[in-house]
Amino acid sequence: MAQNYKALDSITISDIVSLGISQEEAEQLQEKLTEIIHTCGAATPQTWQNISKQLLNPDLPFSFHQMMYHGCYKDFGPNPPAWLPDPNNAKLTNVGQLLESRGKEFLGSKYRDPISSFSDFQEFSVSNPEVYWKAIFDEMNISFSVSPERILVENSSCPGGQWLPGAYINPAKNCLNVNKKRNLDDVVILWRDEGDDELPLQKMTLMELRSRVWLVAYALERLELDKGSAIAIDMPMDAHSVVIYLAIVLAGYVVVSIADSFAPSEISTRLELSNAKAIFTQDLILRGDRKIPLYSRVVDAQAPMAIVIPTRDSSFSMKLRAGDISWQDFLNRAEGSNCCYCCNCREVEFVAVEQPIEAFTNILFSSGTTGDPKAIPWTVSTPLKAAADGWCHMDIREGDIVSWPTNLGWMMGPWLVYASLLNSASMALYNGSPLGSGFAKFIQDAKVTMLGVIPSIVRTWKTKNSTASYDLSSIRCFGSTGEASSVDEYLWLMGRARYKPVIEYCGGTEIGGGFISGSLVQPQCLAAFSTAAMGCSLFILGEDGYPLPSNVAGTGELALGPTMFGASSTLLNADHNEVYFKGMPVWNGKVLRRHGDVFERTSKGYYHAHGRADDTMNLGGIKVSSVEIERICNAVDGNIVETAAVGVPPPGGGPERLAIAVVFKDLDSSTTDINTLMQSFNSALQKKLNPLFKVSNIIPLPSLPRTATNKVMRRVLRQQFTQGENSRL
């Protein structure tokens, strides 16, 4: 890309004018640019840093931003830094303050400053878990009812080790605690409903949150379910669902996370796998002028007892199934607790159920390669991992306002709850689509300081110019996860907030957070990761199946060090050892953990994600197996023999696109119209699997490539289709 741009010292006023900038403004910009080049040179990271801070603003055409960035780094090579940490600001980050106070204790004479010593600190977090995790729990004010005997006990029978043995804790109670960084009057949730863009933000203080969570916890106990029972939530992520989530955990039950976009069959599968005894849901979901049924899908899924919340406090417009309970009737069951849902009660605290460290707190789901979702339990330690990632990598702290468009059905929903509340920050929730200008205005009005995104959302914002005229300068950093990002889309994103950094973040439901990320004390490059997550070690496997040396560039399947705090140790419907450890290489006496992504480590120490090594793909931030998609597509047309679904990265980088290889019964005489077939595929997938899925390309083939054991070689198809996309450039 950069080779198509002029070097900065070759750019003329007429070049700037050609981008739609007035002659007068172009002259002023060129004069400032000349001054920066004179001071910093024409092609250094400091040049770009000064351009991004002194020259660029969101009102200038994005093409000018591109001209500056690509012109500066025209001959730089891979991984040009889009953001550089300021040494003084680095010392004010969570990690910086910890290192300034204890860096010499941790690292001895090697410690210099937070920026220079961060890589050493990351390695320390892996090699000294006892010291590291005690320090992080202290920093986050984590309160155990029974303290752990130690941090980690390693043994051969459990590859991941035993974490926090003997400890008892309730993570929801910790979310509600008053501590030295938070008091009862602090706002902990801000929200706005779509369509209410001109109304003031709605807010909930810690006192109000505690009162509401306690009331729901009391009402839950009146259901007389056994402690440890699974209770599902199938709702949009709003203030109600956050209260319900915390109440379930506080009362000693297990949340079952179900995305509100799922079809009845997908809801039913997750309810059965988790053995859920009840489910919280809404009557409808409002999106603009549309009313999307939700309760009816739960009924069609033959769900157990449902507690049904009216949308935006409206009255019910439908009759409930026998045995189901309206929200108000459910709350009325807590009568006698002397607490109401809208008061600021202090004296009726629900006594939290303290749980042993191995107890389940949440059951989430991730697609496997067999077509069935993996049922992944989070223990009560997993929330601490999520919150620690937020503390270390996104620098979430007291006074921050954190927003991340997501749902409790995906791991980033619970992550957002814990990463904000356990770090004494506030969460900002928009009850509506994040794709339009209403969401941008919400981010502005809420003064969000950490905004999480997925690349497909950013692409829509850029295409529709959704953020135009809104001030996003309150943002300190972005977080990005879910799918691969592209350089120019994220250059645009940074520019909307006057070049605040994007922290790329990749992990998994079974990790409870990330294994690779960025940091505010390291230079950040676009569409790249700068570090293994704290407490995690990464290995790129070579062609022989064994790790490449840690300082060698290369591409291969990523493996993880087995001892990661918060990571899963069991699956409800599969053999955990077989899924994650069987057949993996041994390194330093420890069997490595399988993840399944292909990663590249560059010569400069950055990492790039290259999709899945297995037959699972990532569509719009949602992992789905090829088998699930193929099963539906095979039944669409009687002329189809078989299909193969693969995710293909676009030529310029970014999220995978869904391509379907189709073998027809009679390819030569087939009268099947490809456009009609694509519409049929999309309709079936959106109805039966997920309304967000979309087929981008259909490729007729005479047959599918197969192994000697007759397994479809989807990796070969993915490579062929990717080469085909690139050849069109």
Retrieve residue 588's tokens: 């330093």
pLDDT number for residue 177: 97
pLDDT number for residue 710: 60
Strand partners, 309: 282
Closest CA to 661 of 642, 680, 676, 677: 642
Residues constituting the chain:
729
Closest CA to 214 of 337, 380, 78: 337
- 3-class state of residue 132 by DSSP: helix
Is 424's pLDDT higher than 90? yes
Given a contact cutoff of 8 angstroms between Cβ atoms, the answer to whether 125 and 137 are in contact is: no
pLDDT in tens, 58-95: 999 999 999 999 999 999 999 999 999 999 999 999 99
Q: How far apart are the first and last CA of the chain?
A: 12
Question: Residue 646: which residues within 8 A CB-CB, separation 6 or more?
Answer: 617, 626, 658, 659, 661, 714, 717, 718, 721
Q: Where are the alpha helices (DSSP H) in 422-525?
A: 437-446, 455-464, 487-496
State the average pLDDT for the chain: 92
State mean pLDDT over 255-270. 95
The percentage of residues in the chain with a pLDDT greater than 90, rounded to a whole number, is 80
pLDDT number for residue 672: 67
Is 484's pLDDT higher than 70? yes
Residue with the two structure tokens 């790249």: 528
pLDDT number for residue 370: 47
Helix (H) or strand (E) holding 382: helix 382-392
Which whole-number Å values give the CA distances from 277 to 34, 249, 303, 365, 518, in the listed order? Answer: 68, 15, 9, 17, 40
Is 669's pLDDT higher than 50? no
The C-alpha atoms of residue 37 and residue 722 are separated, in whole angstroms, by 39
Which whole-number Å values give the CA distances from 181 to 84, 90, 101, 387, 398, in the listed order? Answer: 29, 20, 18, 15, 6
Query: What are phi and psi for residue 129, nearest 5 degrees?
Result: -60, -35
- Rounded to the nearest angstrom, the gap between the alpha carbon of residue 252 and the centroid of all alpha carbons in its chain is 26
Is 312's pLDDT higher than 80? no
Q: Where are the alpha helices (DSSP H) in 550-594?
A: 576-580
- 3-class state of residue 627 by DSSP: helix
Retrieve residue 14's tokens: 């007429």
The C-alpha atoms of residue 679 and residue 675 are separated, in whole angstroms, by 6
Categorize the per-residue pLDDT at 371 as very low, low, confident or very high, splitting at 50, 70 and 90.
low
pLDDT in tens, 675-717: 999 999 999 999 888 888 999 999 999 999 986 556 688 888 9
Is 727's pLDDT higher than 60? no
Categorize the per-residue pLDDT at 1 as very low, low, confident or very high, splitting at 50, 70 and 90.
very low
Is 668's pLDDT higher than 80? no
Given a contact cutoff of 8 angstroms between Cβ atoms, the answer to whether 642 and 717 are in contact is: no
- Of the ranges 206-220, 341-355, 397-411, 427-441, which one carries the lowest mean pLDDT score? 341-355
More confident residue, 497 or 714: 497
Is 338's pLDDT higher than 60? no
Computed on alpha carbons and rounded to an integer, the radius of gyration of the chain in Å comes to 26
- Rounded to the nearest angstrom, the gap between the alpha carbon of residue 226 and the centroid of all alpha carbons in its chain is 32
State mean pLDDT over 606-634. 81
pLDDT number for residue 446: 98
Is 606's pLDDT higher than 90? yes
More confident residue, 202 or 339: 202
The C-alpha atoms of residue 146 and residue 161 are separated, in whole angstroms, by 20
Residue with the two structure tokens 């937070």: 114
Categorize the per-residue pLDDT at 30 as very low, low, confident or very high, splitting at 50, 70 and 90.
very high
Of 225-234, 364-373, 477-486, where does the model show the most confidence? 225-234
The C-alpha atoms of residue 389 and residue 506 are separated, in whole angstroms, by 11
Strand partners, 547: 541
pTM for the full model?
0.88
State mean pLDDT over 205-231. 97
The C-alpha atoms of residue 93 and residue 104 are separated, in whole angstroms, by 17
- Rounded to the nearest angstrom, the gap between the alpha carbon of residue 263 and the centroid of all alpha carbons in its chain is 22
The C-alpha atoms of residue 122 and residue 538 are separated, in whole angstroms, by 12
State mean pLDDT over 247-259. 98
Categorize the per-residue pLDDT at 313 as very low, low, confident or very high, splitting at 50, 70 and 90.
low
Query: What are phi and psi for residue 420, nearest 5 degrees?
Result: -85, -55
Categorize the per-residue pLDDT at 554 as very low, low, confident or very high, splitting at 50, 70 and 90.
very high
Retrieve residue 690's tokens: 């997920």
Question: Residue 351: which residues within 8 A CB-CB, separation 6 or more?
Answer: none
The C-alpha atoms of residue 574 and residue 439 are separated, in whole angstroms, by 40
Is 625's pLDDT higher than 80? no
Burial readout 638-661 (b: 16 or more C-beta within 10 A, e: otherwise): ebbeebbbbbbbeeebbbbbbbbb
Query: What are phi and psi for residue 214, nearest 5 degrees?
Result: -60, -45
Given a contact cutoff of 8 angstroms between Cβ atoms, the answer to whether 538 and 507 are in contact is: no
Categorize the per-residue pLDDT at 127 as very low, low, confident or very high, splitting at 50, 70 and 90.
very high
β 305-309/325-326 pair status: parallel
pLDDT in tens, 133-190: 999 999 999 999 999 999 999 987 889 999 999 999 999 999 999 999 999 999 999 9
Retrieve residue 237's tokens: 């992520």
Of 211-220, 316-325, 617-626, 686-695, where does the model show the most confidence? 211-220
Closest CA to 376 of 386, 365, 361: 365
Given a contact cutoff of 8 angstroms between Cβ atoms, the answer to whether 340 and 597 are in contact is: no
Closest CA to 258 of 227, 301, 287, 216: 301
Categorize the per-residue pLDDT at 621 as very low, low, confident or very high, splitting at 50, 70 and 90.
confident
pLDDT number for residue 317: 64
Is 369's pLDDT higher than 60? no
- 3-class state of residue 554 by DSSP: strand
Categorize the per-residue pLDDT at 643 as very low, low, confident or very high, splitting at 50, 70 and 90.
very high
Structure-derived torsion over alpha carbons of residues 175, 177, 179, 185, reported in degrees to the nearest 10: 90
Reduced to 3 DSSP states, what percent helix, strand and coil does the chain have, rounded to the nearest 5?
35, 25, 40
Categorize the per-residue pLDDT at 456 as very low, low, confident or very high, splitting at 50, 70 and 90.
confident
